[in-house]
Amino acid sequence: MSDMTYTIKIKKEYASAILEDLKQVDAIEIMEEPIPEWQKQESIKRLAEMKENPGSQISEEDFFKSLDEDEKA
């Protein structure tokens, strides 16, 4: 068997069940990596900002739309 790594895209409504099934038959190993401290602190900061000013947030759809526009520019 090769040591290749693949990137796959699974619809989120199926992902958890598929991964659990693959883990049970020993087809995959789920590598749990700790969340870096900087990422925890950034999340805490952003949650505080959202509580202070909930109107300043944008939807996930608008966020990804802005990323697409930035890539085209």
Query: Is residue 40, in this structure, part of any structural domain at all?
Result: yes
Q: Which domain holds residue 22?
A: 12-72
Provide the whole-model pTM: 0.43
pLDDT at 57 (0 to 100):
85
| Residue 25 CA from chain centroid, whole number | 25
Q: Tokens in use for 2?
A: 């090769």
Higher-pLDDT residue of 61, 2 = 61
Query: Is residue 5, in this structure, part of any structural domain at all?
Result: no
pLDDT digit string, tens, across residues 40-68: 999 999 999 999 998 888 888 898 898 88
Higher-pLDDT residue of 5, 22 = 22
Query: Is residue 67, in this structure, part of any structural domain at all?
Result: yes
Residue 29's alpha-carbon distances to 35, 53, 61, 67, in angstroms, are 18, 41, 32, 32
Query: Is residue 50, in this structure, part of any structural domain at all?
Result: yes
Query: Is residue 18, in this structure, part of any structural domain at all?
Result: yes
Q: Is the dihedral of CA 61, 62, 66, 69 positive or negative?
A: positive
Number of structural domains the chain divides into: 1
User: Confidence band (pLDDT; 50, 70, 90) for 1?
Assistant: low
Tell me how crowded residue 28 is: count the other CB atoms within 10 A of its CB: 13
Query: Is residue 1, in this structure, part of any structural domain at all?
Result: no
